[in-house]
Amino acid sequence: MKKNNTESKLRKAAQEQSDLPPNFVWDNIEEELNIKDQKRRIGFWWWGSAILIFTTIITIILVRGNQDQYLHSTNQSYPKSDKTTQNNSNEYINNDIKNSNTPNLIGTKTIEKTNKLKAANLNNKNTGTLKDQLSKVSKTKDDFENSNNLPNHQNLTITSVDKTYKENSIFNIQEENKTLSINEEMRITNTYHPLASLNINSPTYSRQLLPTQEYSSFENKKYFNPFLEYGIIAGVHALNFSKAQNHNIYNQRKESERSWYSTGIYSQIGMNIFSNWYASIGVEWTMSKSKFENRKNGITKMVVNLDPNTGSAIDTNFISGSILDKGDITLHFIDIPFNLGYTVSNNNWLYGAELSTLINLKTTAEGKLLTGSEIGTLSNGQQDIYKKSVGLGFKGSLLLGRKINEQYILQLRPSYKTYLNPISASNNALSTRYNLFSLSVGMKRFF
């Protein structure tokens, strides 16, 4: 039914409509665009840094892998000896210096090669008879001493070479129906100063039989070992409010809102990158609950008097009283942490520290309002108060671990976490910062 094209005319009229929007709309758009630009810039630097760190780690691993290969395939041109002496070491070094054309400093590199070789040799099960075990230990010691034969560097200038090897081993053995443990420490430190004093410290070696049962522990096994860690988090968070233009909001939230508890789970994978350093990446979910209780005066009851004859209202009274609003607010954070940690071990205990940079993937907030009259009413709109993603964060942790066996370490981790930016939405009058003090318990498994 098309008679006079009413709808076309309506459409034309609709397109000709023009209403001036409020000025604040563009101001808000501009502010939002500025924030997005800032985030884009931060994101660019962040991802650039992350890629750089990742590339560096991979490069270190690859280079070290090549060095190991080189060590195994090196044609050792130096004569082997059962015991390192000052004379023969000096001879090797002097030969190196004599044959060198261009500077090529070696130091830590050689030590690592040596240690790596030891790690490979020690990576076996400590089973068998006492004789077998002793044979293995002797072989290891001999290997180390023989490794004073420096790799065949064609171009070599040595200022100093420190070769240190320490091995703490506790073997659990069965010998003639008796269970015995051998607590053994082998420390060999050789220092060469070819251009100075030419000092050499002789190896020291001690072995002690203990009547206790222990499992073996090799410090050197940590090198490059990949690991998986997972655990639970418990703690308490703190919300810090900055003074808003509207002081009432600030005072009200500061007085009425209280942190309750935080909990979460985490998981990370990583590997040792140096002797005591490790790097890892993971995922972490944290949930923080706050309570609020706000008491205010207001109309609590309305009394309507009805005419008994007609049933219509003839009088209305309002009764004032105290109104109690209480409820809770739950914040959820999903973060990707990039961790760098340092650990030292003492027998079966590990101590250390860890620094983490966090990328917040998602933040969600929900609230539950419980009032005298509206029990269980869901209070929507919390997401309008808080951001959907907070951006960058940082975490510092102390580590305390206990080796359970060759593969597993139980780890306790007191931590402090904070985000660079406030968690409150940019258009929210009250700026809110989030901090978390937590204690996590996790299991670290080496592969």
Partner 1 sequence: MNNDQLILGCQRNDRKSQKILYDNYSRQMYSICLRYCHDPASAADALQEGFIKVYKYINSYNKSGNLYSWIQKIIVRSCLDQIKKEKSHFSIDVTEMNSIDHNYEIDFDFDDYTYNKVLEILETIPSGYKIVFSMYVLDELSHKEIAVLLDISESTSRTQLYKARKLIQKKLSDYSIVNTNAV
* Among residues 18, 102, 309, 373, the one that binds partner 1 under rule CB under 8 A: 18
Regarding 21 and contact with partner 1 (CB under 8 A), the answer is yes
Regarding 310 and contact with partner 1 (CB under 8 A), the answer is no
Please report how close the Cβ of residue 227 comes to partner 1 at its closest, in angstroms: 41
Regarding 6 and contact with partner 1 (CB under 8 A), the answer is yes
**DSSP letters for 298-309:** EEEEEEEEE-TT
From 28-36, 64-72, 277-285, 317-325, span contacting partner 1 (CB under 8 A): 28-36
Regarding 11 and contact with partner 1 (CB under 8 A), the answer is yes
Near partner 1 in 360-389, by CB under 8 A: 380
Tell me, what amino acid is at 24?
F
Cβ atoms within 10 Å of 192's Cβ, excluding its own: 24
DSSP code at position 119: H
Q: Residue count at the site for partner 1 (CB under 8 A)?
A: 29
Regarding 22 and contact with partner 1 (CB under 8 A), the answer is yes
- 1-31 in b/e burial notation, b at 16+ Cβ within 10 A? eeeeeeeeeeeeeeeeeeeeeeeeeeeeeee
Angle at 350 between CA 348 and CA 356, to 5 degrees: 155
From 9-17, 141-149, 244-252, 399-407, span contacting partner 1 (CB under 8 A): 9-17
Residue 121 in tokens: 């040799």
Element (H, E) at 271: strand 257-272
Counting every residue written for the chain, the total comes to: 447
Residue with tokens 């004599």: 98
Query: Rounded to an integer, what distance in angstroms lies between the CA atom of residue 131 and that of residue 343?
Result: 34
* Among residues 13, 302, 304, 319, the one that binds partner 1 under rule CB under 8 A: 13
From 8-16, 56-64, 90-98, 112-120, span contacting partner 1 (CB under 8 A): 8-16
Query: Rounded to an integer, what distance in angstroms lies between the CA atom of residue 83 and that of residue 301?
Result: 97
Return the beta strands (E) in 307-404 as ranges: 313-346, 349-371, 377-379, 392-403
The residues with which 232 forms a beta bridge, in sequence order, are: 265, 441
Regarding 44 and contact with partner 1 (CB under 8 A), the answer is no
Regarding 320 and contact with partner 1 (CB under 8 A), the answer is no
Regarding 4 and contact with partner 1 (CB under 8 A), the answer is yes
Please report how close the Cβ of residue 43 comes to partner 1 at its closest, in angstroms: 14
Residue nearer to partner 1 on the CB measure, 2 or 301: 2
Please report how close the Cβ of residue 428 comes to partner 1 at its closest, in angstroms: 14
Residue nearer to partner 1 on the CB measure, 27 or 91: 27
Please report how close the Cβ of residue 235 comes to partner 1 at its closest, in angstroms: 33
Residue 146 in tokens: 């023989």
Regarding 10 and contact with partner 1 (CB under 8 A), the answer is yes
Residue with tokens 């040792």: 272
Residues that bind partner 1 (CB under 8 A): 1-4, 6-7, 9-11, 13-15, 17-22, 24-26, 28-30, 32-33, 36-37, 380
